[in-house]
Amino acid sequence: KVETHEIQLNSNFDGAFNYVTGYYTQTEELSSDTNIYLGIPTDLYRTTTPFRNSLTLKDQESDALFGAVFYELNEQWKLSVGARYTEDLKESLPTDLWTGGDTTFDEWTYSAKLTYQMDPDVMLYLSHDKGFKSGGINRHSNGACTGNPPPISGCTAIWDPETTFNYEVGIKSEWLDNRLRLNGALYYQTFEDFQVTQNLVQFNTVLVRNAAEAESRGIEFDFVALATDNLTFDGSVALNFAEYKEFENATCLPGTPGCVAGFQDLSGETLDHAPELTFNIGAEYRQGLDLLNGAEAFARLDINYRDDQNLYFELYDITEEDAYYLMNGRGGIEVADSWKLTLWGNNLTDEEYLAESLLDNTSIQQVPGMVRTYGVTADWYF
């Protein structure tokens, strides 16, 4: 159960100065009881004792005060500055690691952006932001960190908040009489107390821990090009380098290369789920139909690429995934603001790839990506 409320006060002055301020609150009640059974139920109504149990009972409350000011220095230069104070209260019943009660996480964050309108079609910007991801309490895990089987290395009751600092310079532009839109950005981002998720399949639980430091840097572009009145191309490309700057106490399975007493040093290694190169390109064709008033026939094709990546934060060789392409398509008939009929297909080449890969003490758990799927969707707008 989640309940949110927000109140804002915004200005609408004719001059160069404006502002927005407000208060936000969210309350959440979470109850989850997960059991894994081995063997065959004794009858229709009774089952064996759970092999693994995972219980979560938590209440959370988040409150925030925020504000931002906007100032037009002149016709070309504009400045915006904002700040936010967030306080998160998290309550939990006793767990394997936690005596029960509540804990509070709070942080000031901010954002600053300077824009320069070079001409009506080109805008440059420079921004700096501080972000905040709240901490939390690891849930009951039925022996994941105490007792028998042996405890997992690195178990802690509370994971700390993650803070990030982002620096970005970019361009937003339109060319060729607004037939080409081109945007680009160069960014550098650092993380303190970077949060990593350890999926313990053998204990039916998830542990969240903190790496010391991580960073991400890269460049990205996106475009939309109107080739003709009927044919549009669009796409994006990103080159990203993300690594642990410091993570000396990362957990690992005994016997794997570099693992000493259940720990390994991942400092300088690439983050999981962080391919260096990703891109997508799409084309869409639309043609009016004389047989139906206001109707258009459309067809679209998209190609997406993801570079090599590792799918588990402990970065084993066996959890690496090779680069792959996915091709999706759709086509149909649409009457604007009335109805649309679409024939669609995803992963048209039936590419085999992994979405997740987890390694525990006894086995590797792999989640395959979606196979080729297709169907028909009808939309009616009213």
pLDDT in tens, 312-366: 988 999 999 999 999 999 999 999 889 999 999 999 999 999 999 988 766 788 8
Check whether 182 has a pLDDT greater than 60.
Answer: yes
* Planar angle of CA 177, 180, 182, nearest 5 degrees: 125
- pLDDT number for residue 153: 63
Which residue bears the tokens 């028909």? 376
CB atoms within 10 A of CB 306: 19
Check whether 30 has a pLDDT greater than 50.
Answer: yes
- pLDDT number for residue 45: 41
Q: What is the mean pLDDT of residues 229-250?
A: 95
* Planar angle of CA 47, 52, 55, nearest 5 degrees: 100
Give the 3-state secondary structure percentages of the chain, helix then strand then coil, rounded to 5.
0, 65, 35
* pTM score of the predicted model: 0.86
Q: What is the mean pLDDT of residues 31-43?
A: 57
Helix (H, G, I), strand (E, B) or coil at 201: helix
State which H helix or E strand residue 149 sits in: none
- Nearest-angstrom CA–CA distance, 71 and 333: 46
Give buried/exposed letters for 89-111 (b at 16+ CB in 10 A, else e).
Answer: ebebbebbbbeeeeeebebebeb
Q: What is the mean pLDDT of residues 183-204?
A: 87
Check whether 37 has a pLDDT greater than 70.
Answer: no
Check whether 78 has a pLDDT greater than 80.
Answer: yes
Confidence of residue 57 (pLDDT cuts 50, 70, 90): low
Q: Determine the number of helices (DSSP H) and then strands (DSSP E) in the chain.
A: 0, 23
Q: What is the pLDDT of residues 129-140, one digit of tens each?
A: 999 999 988 776
- Report the percentage of the chain scoring pLDDT > 90: 66
Contacts of 188 (CB under 8 A, 6+ apart): 166, 167, 168, 215, 216, 217
Which of the two residues, 333 and 197, has the higher pLDDT score?
A: 333
Q: Which of 106-115, 190-199, 366-375 has the lowest mean pLDDT?
A: 190-199
- Nearest-angstrom CA–CA distance, 6 and 209: 31
Within 164-271, residue ranges assigned H as helices are: none
Question: How far is the CA of 51 from the CAs of 35, 47, 48, in angstroms?
Answer: 7, 11, 9
What does the mean pLDDT of the chain come to? 88
- pLDDT number for residue 274: 96
